[in-house]
């Protein structure tokens, strides 16, 4: 089934599932992560007051534009755009048709690189974004299944900051055994 944007008229397309705003600490940490990934891959990040529908990346100039990181979905959208550039995967073919398989790979990359475990609402938002991206053809059932499988591996429940994914956080040290 292809979900059309017209079907969603009257809804906040940037936050369909009522995602809570990131707290200032999370927002700063996730913003820093986006900047670190961009620098690591020689990219320029442009954070603007846009929604996910206007996020984009350019291969020839090495920049991407993403929403200001207000929610976890905004953060995942930024990572998704970086994923397109890192993986060298265009969004469209030469005729302007959406390459849904490339979209799956960019979302998978974003999820793997993320320092959060996406909430159920964020995963639902990703699925809506994927299914409403661009043309009227929509993804195949195989592409939908591949993205669902990638999202299923992220767990359930609310957003969780995965500090163990952060390179700045030292691993926990085992406790010394009691002296005997």
- pLDDT at site 169: 45
Question: b/e per residue, 156-179, with b = 16+ CB within 10 A?
Answer: eeebebeeeeeeeeeeeeeeeeee
Confidence grade of residue 63 (pLDDT, cut at 50, 70, 90): confident
- pLDDT at site 80: 92
Residues 6+ apart with CB under 8 A from 70: 21, 22, 27
Residue 157 or residue 56, greater confidence: 56
What is the mean pLDDT of the segment spanning 104-110? Answer: 95
- pLDDT at site 141: 92
Q: What angle do CA 100, 101, 107 make, to 5 degrees?
A: 85
pTM: 0.78
Over 70: is that where the pLDDT of 164 sits?
no
Q: How do residues 122-157 score in pLDDT, each as one tens digit?
A: 999 899 889 887 666 789 999 999 999 999 866 554
Over 50: is that where the pLDDT of 48 sits?
yes
**Average pLDDT across the chain, whole number:** 79
Over 60: is that where the pLDDT of 159 sits?
no
């Amino acid at each position: 089934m292809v979900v059309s944007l017209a079907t969603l008229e009257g809804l906040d397309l940037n936050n369909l599932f009522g995602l809570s705003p990131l707290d200032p600490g999370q927002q700063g940490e996730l913003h820093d992560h986006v900047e670190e990934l961009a620098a690591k891959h020689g990219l320029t990040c442009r954070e603007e007051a846009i929604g996910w529908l206007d996020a984009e990346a350019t291969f020839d100039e090495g920049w991407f534009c993403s929403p200001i990181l207000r929610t976890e979905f905004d953060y995942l959208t930024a990572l998704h755009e970086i994923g397109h550039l890192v993986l060298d995967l265009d969004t469209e073919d030469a005729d302007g048709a959406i390459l849904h398989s490339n979209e799956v790979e960019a979302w998978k990359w974003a999820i793997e690189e993320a320092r959060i475990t996406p909430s159920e609402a964020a995963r639902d938002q990703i699925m809506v974004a994927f299914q409403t991206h661009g043309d009227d053809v929509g993804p195949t059932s195989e592409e939908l299944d591949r993205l669902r499988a990638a999202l299923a591996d992220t767990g359930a429940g609310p957003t969780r900051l995965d500090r163990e994914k952060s390179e700045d956080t030292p691993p926990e040290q085992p406790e010394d055994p009691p002296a005997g």
